[in-house]
Every structure is written in C-alpha cells, then in structure tokens.
Structure 1
Amino acid sequence: MMTNLGLESSIVEWVIEYPEVQGVLESLGIDQSCQGKSLEYVCSQMGLDPHLVLKQLHEVIEEDTGLDE
C-alpha cells in the first residue's frame, strides 16, 4: 500500500495528506475535525469496522492517483 497512514493516524492527518478522502468520511458520518483522534478510535466509537473504512480510503486514494497496486 502506498499510503504512510494507517488506523493509528488521525482523521485530520488523512484529510491533510489525502483531501480526496473527505467524501468517504462524510458519507460515513465521520467528523473530520474530531480533535486528532485516530481513525481506528473514531470508527470503533461509531460502530464502524475500521479495516473496512481503511480499505475504502485506500480505494479512493488509488483512484485519485491513478495507480494500480
């Protein structure tokens, strides 16, 4: 995977590094400010599967960069 961000990265880091993930986060109802909480924490608080969300974010990023990895 080409991103250096993971479940332990904050939502803010994701948005700064990959603005294209904002649509995915919005569609899942994830607050993009969320005070620097990690992706994993926010997902678990919302009852979302963190690994599924991570997969969705990676898919959007790959589409945006046009890389097939």
Structure 2
Amino acid sequence: MNNIRLAFYPPRGKELEASMLQKSGVICLIVICVTLLIFMWITRSSLCEVRFRNNQIDVAVIMDYES
C-alpha cells in the first residue's frame, strides 16, 4: 500500500516566493484598473465607440447615453 501525503501549504523556503507572486499579481491588477479608470476619465466626453480589430476578430464597444 502506498502512503501519499498532501501538504496544504507551500514547501519550506517557498513561502516568500509564493507571497511575492501574490503581491505582484495584486499590484498588476491595480495598475490595470487604474489605467482603465484614467483612460475613461480622460475620454469621458468623447468616448462613444471603441473598436478592436484583429485578423479574424472584430470587437466593438458602443455606449449609448442621453444628455
């Protein structure tokens, strides 16, 4: 019979590396969100349509509002 043990924690010496990866992921997400907020704040008066075209994909985001 095989004894298989599962650890619910990172191996010793890897705690710092795992926490650094989590911190860098959170920082990356915050930077992306702040960048999007700044872009929308700058273009809020003229942003009605955004298009992204790739070879096979065409994505259009259209905002409809009344002023």
Same fold (TM over 0.5): no
Higher helix content, 1 or 2: 1
Higher strand content, 1 or 2: 2
Where relative contact order (Cα < 8 A, 6+ residues apart) is larger, the structure is 1
TM-score (norm 2): 0.31
TM-score (norm 1): 0.30
